[in-house]
């Protein structure tokens, strides 16, 4: 018997569960942020509880850190572990070259630092996150609060010369105040609609004073695990050039995950 999950949550869950097969005893693991990554953290927590899996998790947000501790996963900072065996994280969009947009949850800066300090990055996503061209999802720019309106104007001016369809930049809000990241910064969301040259755009944006980092992940992701609502997963390993499919069964014993509210 399976427990009741919506098709989208089922897709996220099976992708998260399959990604945990990459994790071995003794690994140092970057723990991503967001709804799909939260399923992965829960799956790892279950392995810690039932198998005695010995791992160290380096969270990419305070929310992920809290969840990992609740589930019995040992947590450390990146400065403590220095380097990671693998990072497993979600994505807001990914294309056929495994370029990503991340940062919908406001943690892309820490996510990028952790991912690039890893031997391997595996992305977990539902099938709806795959796109032909990045840009439908707003591109986050983590921005220092000082002079953010000037930074916004410089960004919009710079976008005139970029291969994008939209140039609107908006300050991300938390109710009636600016959203503040774990690093104390603001986020500008760029509504670009389509990004013709992600690599060029990433390089140019990071040259603008006030921009800390952008949410484009270029040449960072090594594999993607794509979940479907029927419980199947597709694993694309970019480095190995392989694509595999399998069915992930969701059993009544998996009810430990049914209370997730991410």
- The residue among 46, 47, 77 whose CA lies nearest residue 61 is 77
Tokens of 96: 């056929």
Residue 254: what pLDDT?
56
Distances (CA, A) of 113 to 13, 79, 175, 188, 239: 25, 11, 28, 19, 21
Q: What global pTM score does this model have? A: 0.93
- Note if 111 is an active site residue: yes
Is 35 marked as binding a ligand? yes
List Cβ neighbours of 34 (8 Å cut-off, separation of 6 or more). 89, 90, 104, 105, 107, 262
Residue-level length of the chain? 262
Is 36 marked as binding a ligand? yes
Which residue among 46, 93, 96, 111 is the active-site one? Answer: 111
CATH number of 139-213: 3.30.70.260
- β partners of residue 101: 93, 216
Is 61 marked as binding a ligand? no
The number of C-alpha atoms within 13 Å of 178 and in the hemisphere containing its C-beta is 18
| Domain assignments of the chain as residue spans, ordered by start | 7-130+219-256, 139-213
- The residue among 13, 11, 35, 7 whose CA lies nearest residue 254 is 13
Residue 1: what pLDDT?
31
In terms of CATH architecture, what is 7-130+219-256? Answer: 3-Layer(aba) Sandwich (3.40)
Residue 251: what pLDDT?
66
- The residue among 188, 192, 232, 217 whose CA lies nearest residue 100 is 217
In the chain (262 residues long), the average pLDDT of successive 10-residue segments reads 76 97 97 96 97 97 97 98 98 97 96 98 97 98 98 98 97 98 97 98 98 98 97 94 92 51 40
Tokens of 68: 């990992």
List Cβ neighbours of 70 (8 Å cut-off, separation of 6 or more). 45
SS3 116: helix
Is 184 marked as binding a ligand? no
């Amino acid at each position: 018997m399976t427990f009741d999950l919506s098709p989208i949550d089922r897709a996220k869950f099976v992708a998260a569960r399959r990604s945990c097969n990459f994790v071995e005893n003794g690994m140092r693991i970057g723990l991503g942020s967001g709804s799909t990554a939260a399923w992965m953290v829960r799956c790892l927590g279950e392995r810690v509880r039932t198998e005695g899996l010995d791992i160290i998790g380096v969270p990419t947000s305070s929310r992920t850190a809290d969840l990992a501790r609740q589930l019995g996963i040992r947590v450390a900072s990146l400065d403590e572990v220095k380097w990671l065996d693998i990072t497993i994280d979600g994505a807001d969009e990914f294309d056929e070259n495994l370029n990503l947009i991340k940062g919908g949850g406001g943690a892309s800066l820490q996510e990028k630092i952790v991912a690039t300090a890893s031997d391997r990055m595996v992305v977990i996503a539902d099938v709806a996150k795959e796109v032909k061209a990045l840009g439908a999802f707003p591109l986050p720019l983590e921005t220092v609060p000082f002079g953010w309106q000037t930074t916004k104007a410089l960004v919009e001016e710079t976008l005139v010369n970029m291969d994008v369809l939209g140039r609107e930049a908006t300050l991300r809000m938390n109710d009636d105040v600016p959203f503040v990241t774990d690093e104390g910064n603001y986020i500008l969301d760029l509504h670009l609609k389509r990004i013709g040259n992600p690599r060029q755009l990433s390089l140019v944006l990071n040259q603008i004073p006030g921009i800390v980092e952008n949410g484009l992940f270029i040449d960072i992701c090594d594999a993607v695990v794509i979940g479907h609502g029927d419980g199947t997963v597709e694993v694309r390993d970019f480095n190995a050039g392989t694509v595999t499919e399998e069915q992930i069964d969701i059993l009544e014993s998996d009810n430990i995950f049914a209370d997730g509210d991410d």
